[in-house]
Amino acid sequence: MTAHDHPHAAVGEGDELPGYFEILEIALRELLIEKGLVSADALRRQIEILDSRSPALGSRVVARAWVDAAFKARLLADGSAACEELGVTMYDGTKLIVLENTPEVHNLVVCTLCSCYPRPVLGLPPDWYKSRAYRSRAVRWPRSVLAEFGTNLPDDVEVRVHDSTAAMRYLVLPMRPEGTDDLDEDALAGLVTRDAMIGVTRVATPG
C-alpha cells in the first residue's frame, strides 16, 4: 500500500461514524492523491478559497454598482471582469451575468437541473435553492414562489426567470432602496442580502 502524506483522524468515543457519501468522498479524494492526479496541498488551497467566499462579496459588488455608474455599466456588460476589479475572481471559470432589477422588471435565478450557483460571489447556496420544490416551481409559478419569500410584486412588473448552467451563473443587481442617499458604500453593502442577489427578495428600506 502506498504511504499517505496526510494524517487521518481517529474515531473516538461519541464520534459519529461517517455516512455513505462522506466515505465515498474520502475514498475518491485519497485515490486522486495516491494516483498523483491532485496534491493534498492543492485540495487544501481550493477548500480555503471556497471557505473564503460569502454573500458579503456580492454585497460589495452591488454597493459599488449603486454608487459608481461607470462600474455598474461594466458589471452589466461583463460581470466576471467587473468583479475581478474588486478582487473577486471567478475561480471556477464560470461566466457571471449580472441582471438588473428595475421598477418594470424583476429577475429571479434558479438552476432547474441541479444547483449551479454563483459561488465565487455568494459562497455556498442555501438548502432551499437546491431543493426540488424550488427548482421546479420557480420556473412554473415564479410569483407564487416570490410571495412565499414575502415578495409581492404588482401585476405590471414583469418577472424573468433565469436558469443557471455549469458554465454560466447569474447574479441579481437589486434596486437601491429609497432613503439611502446619505449612506456610504459600506453602509449600503450592509443592506444587501443573499436572497436579494438571488432575486427572491428585494433590498428593504433601512429604518
Which active-site residues does the annotation give? 111, 114-116
Least Cα distance to 159 among 144, 171, 149, 178 occurs for 144
SS3 letters for 153-205?
Answer: CCCCCEEEEEECCCCEEEEEECCCCCCCCCCCHHHHHCCCCHHHHHCCCCCCC
User: What is the distance between the alpha carbons of residues 170 and 101, in angstroms, rounded to a whole number?
Assistant: 13
Give me the residues paired with residue 158 across strands.
Answer: 105
114 CB-side CA count, 13 A: 6
**Distance of CA 199 to CAs 18, 100, 142, 172, 173, Å?**
36, 10, 11, 6, 8
Please give the grid coordinates belonging to residue 142: 415564479
Per-residue burial over 26-46, b if 16 or more Cβ lie within 10 Å, else e, is eeeeeeebeeeeeeeeeeeee
